[in-house]
C-alpha cells in the first residue's frame, strides 16, 4: 500500500466512515470479589464505572512502573472485559493472578476478534461489545467479540491507516511506548488512566509522587514529522547538535502532513520546536497530539 493510499484511508476514517481489522487481547473478569480486587490493583476507579462504560487503566509493578496499560469495560455488576494490545494478554493475566490468592474472582482469556469503526458519518454498530473511542482525530467505536464482522456500508480500511490515527492522536502502545521500564507519566496518558481520589492501589506511590511534583519525568513522549516517506527504524536516535536526545518508538508512512510520522521519547529540557535530526534528515518535533480534536 502506498503512502497516498494510506492517507486516503485516514481521511475516510476521519471525515466519512470506515472500518479496519482491530487486534486486541481480551481477558474476562468475573466474581463476587471482582470489583474489590480490581479496585486494589488498577489505577482507575473501577468501583465508579457504570455498567456499559469503559476506561483506560494501568496495572503497575509495586515500584510503580508499568506492567500493562489496557481498557476495562464493565459488563455487569461483577463482570468486566479487559482488552489490551496484542501480545500482552498473557502478561495481563499473569499479573492479575499473581496477587489473587483465594480471592473470589476468575480471569479467563478470550479468543475474540475486533473491528475499528471510525469517522464523522459512522453510526454506532449493533452486536458484540461496542466501546466508544474519542481521541484527537479519531472518533468512533471498537467492536469486540467472538466473531465480529465489518458492518455493511463502511469503507474497508487497513491497519496501516489505524496506525497513523494512533500515532497522530499520541496514543501509546504496549511494547513500543510502554513496557516494564516505563514510568506512567512519561507517556502522557495519566489523566485518562489514573484516579487520584479512589484510594490505594498497587504502585500508587510513584504515580502520586510524580503528580505532586508537576508530572516532571526524565523524558516525555512527543510526535515527530518527517518531510518524506522514509520511515525511521524503531530505536533510531533523535539528535540535537550532535548529541542523542531521544529515541523513535513507533513510525509509519502516510502521515497527514505529507510525510512519515513517528512517536519518540525526548529527554527533559529539550523543548518543541528544536532542530532535531533523525538519520541525517531534519525532523521537527511536536507536542502531542499531532492533530486537533
CATH code: domain 3-169 is 3.30.70.1400
d(CA 211, CA 288): 19
The C-alpha cell at 73 is: 469495560
Whole-structure pTM value: 0.96
pLDDT at position 215 over 80: no
The C-alpha cell at 270 is: 529539550
Residues 34-37: contacts with CB under 8 Å, at least 24 apart? 34/78, 34/79, 34/80, 34/104, 34/105, 35/78, 37/100, 37/103, 37/105
Supply the mean pLDDT for the chain.
95
Closest C-alpha among 181, 116, 160 to residue 251:
160
Q: What is the arithmetic mean of pLDDT over 3-19?
A: 98
d(CA 142, CA 139): 10
- Which residues have C-beta within 8 Å of that of residue 59, sequence separation ≥ 6? 41, 42, 43, 67, 68, 70, 92, 95, 96, 202
Per residue in 217-256, pLDDT (tens digit) is 999 999 999 989 999 999 999 999 989 999 999 999 999 9
**DSSP letter, residue 31:** S
Whether the Cβ atoms of residue 95 and residue 68 lie closer than 8 Å to each other: yes
pLDDT at res. 274:
84
Q: pLDDT band at residue 292, thresholds of 50, 70 and 90?
A: confident
Q: What is the arithmetic mean of pLDDT over 75-88?
A: 98
SS3 assignment, position 273: coil
d(CA 42, CA 37): 9
pLDDT at position 73 over 80: yes
Segments making up each domain of the chain, as ranges: 3-169
The more confidently predicted of residues 21 and 273 is 21
Amino acid at each position: 500500500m502506498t503512502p497516498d493510499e494510506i492517507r486516503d484511508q485516514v481521511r475516510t476514517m476521519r471525515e466519512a466512515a470506515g472500518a479496519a481489522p482491530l487486534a486486541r487481547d481480551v481477558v474476562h473478569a468475573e466474581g463476587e470479589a471482582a470489583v474489590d480486587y480490581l479496585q486494589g490493583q488498577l489505577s482507575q476507579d473501577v468501583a465508579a464505572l457504570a455498567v456499559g462504560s469503559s476506561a483506560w487503566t494501568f496495572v503497575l509493578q509495586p515500584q510503580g512502573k508499568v506492567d500493562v496499560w489496557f481498557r476495562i469495560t464493565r459488563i455487569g455488576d461483577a463482570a468486566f472485559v479487559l482488552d489490551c494490545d496484542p501480545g500482552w494478554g498473557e502478561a495481563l493475566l499473569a499479573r492479575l493472578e499473581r496477587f489473587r490468592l483465594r480471592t473470589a474472582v476468575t480471569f479467563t482469556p478470550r479468543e475474540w476478534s475486533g473491528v475499528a469503526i471510525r469517522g464523522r458519518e459512522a453510526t454506532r454498530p449493533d452486536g458484540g461489545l461496542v466501546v466508544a473511542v474519542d481521541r484527537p482525530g479519531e472518533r468512533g467505536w471498537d467492536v469486540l467479540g467472538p466473531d465480529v464482522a465489518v458492518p455493511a456500508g463502511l469503507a474497508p480500511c487497513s491497519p496501516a491507516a489505524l496506525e497513523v490515527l494512533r500515532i497522530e492522536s499520541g496514543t501509546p502502545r504496549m511494547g513500543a511506548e510502554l513496557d516494564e521500564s516505563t514510568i506512567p507519566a512519561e507517556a502522557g496518558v495519566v489523566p485518562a488512566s489514573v484516579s487520584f481520589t479512589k484510594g490505594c492501589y498497587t504502585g500508587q506511590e510513584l504515580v502520586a509522587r510524580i503528580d505532586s511534583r508537576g508530572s516532571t519525568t526524565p523524558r516525555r513522549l512527543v510526535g515527530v514529522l518527517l518531510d518524506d516517506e522514509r520511515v525511521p527504524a524503531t530505536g533510531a536516535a533523535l539528535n540535537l547538535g550532535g548529541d542523542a536526545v531521544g529515541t523513535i518508538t513507533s513510525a509509519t508512512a502516510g502521515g497527514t502532513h505529507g510525510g512519515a510520522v513517528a512517536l519518540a521519547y525526548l529527554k527533559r529540557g529539550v523543548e518543541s520546536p528544536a532542530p532535531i535530526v533523525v538519520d541525517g534528515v531534519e525532523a521537527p518535533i511536536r507536542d502531542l497530539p499531532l492533530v486537533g480534536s
